[in-house]
Amino acid sequence: MTSIKEEAVNYVAPSTKNIADLEAVSVDMSIYAKTFKEGTDDEFTINVLTVNGEDYRVPDTVLKQLKANLKAKPKLKTFKVDKEGTGLKTSYTIVQLE
């Protein structure tokens, strides 16, 4: 058993990373919806993909851009996401890799 002090010192808040943190993303990766604060007024759902046991958020704007990229290049296999800004001023750009 550990003390509350030891737990506090070692505590790392759970977080979801962003797809822009990945060097490359395959268009064939599985994506799923993850709901937070279920059953409360603050409930919200995000799209995530899991890489090496860690969740990465996939913003809707990324999916919208990827759809346009796939329409122009149906054989696209991999891409990366560049992220600029923070909060509500965040923008994402898809960069085709292969």
For 91, the domain range is: 14-96
The reported pLDDT for the residue numbered 15 is 77
Residue 23 lies in a domain: yes
Residue 35 lies in a domain: yes
Residue 70 lies in a domain: yes
Residues 71-93: pLDDT tens digits? Answer: 999 999 999 999 999 888 999 99
- Tally the domains of the chain: 1
- Asked whether 81 and 94 are in contact (CB, 8 A), the reply is yes
Residue 28 lies in a domain: yes
Residue 72 lies in a domain: yes
Residue 4 lies in a domain: no
Residue 59 lies in a domain: yes
- Total-model pTM: 0.80
HEC profile for 60-83? HHHHHHHHHHHHHCCCCCEEEEEE
Residue 8 lies in a domain: no
Residues 25-37: pLDDT tens digits? Answer: 999 999 999 998 8
